[in-house]
Amino acid sequence: MEEIRKKHFRSFAINFLLLAALYAIFLASFKSGILNNYYQGLICYMLINIMLTVSLNLTTGFLGQLPLGHAGFMAVGAYASGIFTKTVLLPPAVSLALALAISSLMAFACGIAIGVPALRLKGDYLAIITLGFGEIIRNVILNLKITGGTSYRGIPQHAGFTSIFWITAACVYIISALISSRHGRAILSIREDEIAAEACGINTTFYKLFAFSLSAAAAGAAGALYASYQTVLTPASFTYNQSIEMTIMVVLGGMGSITGSIASAAVLTLLPAFLSDLAKYRMLIYSILLIVIMIFKPAGLLGSREFSMRRLIAKLRRREAN
Amino acid sequence: MPFLSVKNLGVSFGGLKAVDGFSLEMGKDELLGLIGPNGAGKTTVFNLLTGVYAPSQGSVSFNGKIISKLRTSAINDAGIARTFQNIRLFKNLSVMDNVRIALHGSMRYSPLTGILRLREYWEQEEETDRRAVEILEVFGLSDAKDEKASSLPYGRQRKLEIARALGSSPKLLLLDEPAAGMNHSETSELMDTISFVRKKFSVAILLIEHDMQLVMGICERIVVMDYGTVIASGSPEEIKSSKVVIAAYLGE
């Protein structure tokens, strides 16, 4: 049994070192000017998308439900944090930490409020009701005074590459650690067979709500980072198209694969930027890509498998030894 | 007070009374067979006992507690576990995870402890793994523990379902046609397993079965159902010679 703990610790150490290296490389290239501000923005945007995709995967891939309101939860978090950081003036780090807490709590609460009625429904019905929720949120924001109508400006820029990078990493860790705990297994069992899960003593209502609200909370935190980095919020950036794009990222990477979500969020954020000539056709390309994937690899690129650095290293070592 | 006491249980779907006035009493270490022609309502009784359907009449008390209003997971917590007629495994999960999920209720650590991987997490997970392997060993499944449940052959899937049901340490085990689709030798093996499990885990067993070799071979008492209600009950010998039972199966 000690063996398992050791293996786990080795995995954790390898991933952490890798992350630190990645962070150092990015930071060095920003500082030295190899990557200019535009790219820094793009990378931050990519990190936020990773956070959104991984958190959406919790409900789509692991819980096995299909919600389409993730952008709504992100909007709740973004505006909550935007309004908080603009009105309550605190040192940047404190302000960002509080904003993250507030916005994820707000999104969590919305997740519970929507989840209680919505999670009684399945499949298309859940998709429709959450889609409706996202649109309601957007319209409320558009019409409230406090949210500034069509655009909310002047949010202090508290989040930078460093904070976004590490918060995204923490969020991914939390979700992947959760999945391999008893609570995560309870969530997976609901995806596999709800009736059997209940018969095994899993309170499916509770765990559905738990996974759904947790995923909403993470979207809220991503929204907070977005607001604190972008400094300007417009309701137009939280339309249902956004929710659908996140769903595409999840499906493409593999439902139930965290590493798949990370890869597909990264590729689908960076690719359009490099193929800006094709930007017009982005949604068209997405649709075609999705159809092709659904035909040839219906479970997504990685399916429910995970890419593991520790496994890869062990494999390479074995090969070398031979 | 009897261990399991079912009084006047009933449910209707639309105008159809699937189960009507079903009563049953069961002792703490009994092995009881529930038989009856197709459509008699046997599986519906299981679904009522485990809270999959809410009964429209009657009550169920188990181990001194009324359970007929509880949800399925709470009934499992109270000590009733079951298998399904058409196997319902967690197909894409490993054999081990299937049993681990049933052990969910025996672990107590919070989500935060799980995420932070505190000592409690490791202790409870290790204990869970130990118990899961122990149960899998009883069914000769420990060699396949890391395989996907869906990759097991049919007979082993049936066994895994029973193993999973035992994971939640039930006091009463409901088996819905455990021998369905098994050949003669597999059925004999299953009979031995059931007797063994009963002693090893000290559980009462209520089983639905069409295979008379199995029912007559291991059940001490048999309850016969037809049209949603009990038409006869008694020892295997009494049931074999009962006119009512023969009539229900073969017609007058």
**A124 touches B at CB < 8 Å:** no
**C-alpha–C-alpha distance, residues A5 and A1, integer Å:** 7
Nearest to A196 among B77, B88, B128 (CB): B88
Does the beta-carbon distance from A178 to B107 stay under 8 Å?
no
**Residue in this structure with the two tokens 């904003």, named with its chain if needed:** A99
User: Mean pLDDT across the stretch B122-141?
Assistant: 95
Contacts of A173 in chain B (CB under 8 A): 115
Phi first, then psi: give them for residue A114, nearest 5 degrees. -75, -40
Terminal-to-terminal C-alpha distance of chain B: 38
Whether A304 has its CB under 8 Å from any CB of chain B: the answer is: yes
C-alpha to C-alpha distance for B24 and A254, rounded to whole angstroms: 49
Distance CA A302, CA A251 (A): 10
B220: DSSP letter: S
Check residue A299 and give its pLDDT: 79
Nearest beta carbon to residue B104 from set A192, A195, A201: A201
- The Cα A107–Cα A294 span in angstroms is 31
Q: A289 pLDDT band (50/70/90 cuts)?
A: confident
Spell out which residues of chain B touch residue A205, defining contact as CB-CB under 8 Å.
71
- Kindly state whether A195 is in contact with chain B, defined as any CB-CB distance less than 8 angstroms: yes
Residue type, B214: L
Asked if residue A186 lies in contact with residue A202, where contact means CB atoms within 8 angstroms, the answer is yes
Residue of B nearest to A191 (CA): B90
Q: What is the DSSP letter of A58?
A: I
Mean pLDDT in residue range A78-94: 94
Chain B residues within 8 A of A254 when measuring between CB atoms: none
Compute the average pLDDT of residues B109-119.
94
Q: Which residues make beta-bridge pairs with B13? A: B16
Question: What phi, psi does B182 have (nearest 5°)?
Answer: -100, 150
At B104, is the pLDDT very low, low, confident or very high (cuts 50, 70, 90)?
very high
Buried-exposed string B22-41: b where 16+ CB fall within 10 A, e elsewhere: bebebeeebbbbbbbeeebb
CB contact under 8 A, A200 and B76: yes
Neighbour order of strands in the sheet with B172-176: B80-82, B172-176, B204-208, B31-35, B221-226, B229-234
Among B71, B84, B114, select the one facing A196 at the smallest CB separation: B84
CA of B121: which chain A residue's CA is closest? A181
What is the per-residue pLDDT for B250?
84
Give the integer Cα–Cα distance in Å for B221 and B3: 15
Compute the distance between CA of residue A109 and CA of residue B78 in angstroms, rounded to an integer.
Answer: 31
- Are A204 and B73 an interchain contact pair (Cβ–Cβ within 8 Å)? yes
The 3-state DSSP class for residue B207 equals: strand
**Residues with Cβ < 8 Å from B189, sequence gap 6 or more?**
none
**Helices and strands (H and E) in chain B: how many:** 10, 10
Tell me: ipTM over 0.90: yes
Q: Which of B77, B90, B92 sits opposite A201 (nearest CB)?
A: B77
- Give the residue extent of every domain in chain A: 1-35, 39-248
User: Which region holds residue B63: left if phi is over 0, alpha if psi is between -120 and 50, else beta?
Assistant: left
**Adjacent-strand bridge partners of B233:** B223
pLDDT in tens, B31-46: 999 999 998 999 999 9
Share of chain B above pLDDT 90, in %: 86
Residue B128 has pLDDT above 90, yes or no: yes
Per-residue buried b or exposed e for B222-245, using 16+ beta carbons within 10 Å of the residue's own CB: bbbbbebbbbbbeebeebeebeeb
Lowest-pLDDT choice from A148-157, A296-305, B200-209:
A296-305
Helix, strand, coil percentages (3-state) for chain B, rounded to 5, are 45, 25, 30
A4 vs B contacts (CB less than 8 Å): 126
Cβ atoms of A197 and A51 closer than 8 Å: no
Averaged pLDDT for residues A217-223: 97
* Strand ranges in chain A using DSSP code E only, listed in sequence order: none
Residue whose structure tokens are 């597909």: A264
Provide the 8-state DSSP code for B144.
G
Would you say residue A1 has pLDDT above 70? no
How far apart are the CA of B143 and the nearest CA of chain A, in angstroms? 17
Residues of B in contact with A196 (CB under 8 A): 84, 88-90
Q: What is the mean pLDDT of residues B215-244?
A: 93
- As a whole number, the mean pLDDT across chain A is 91
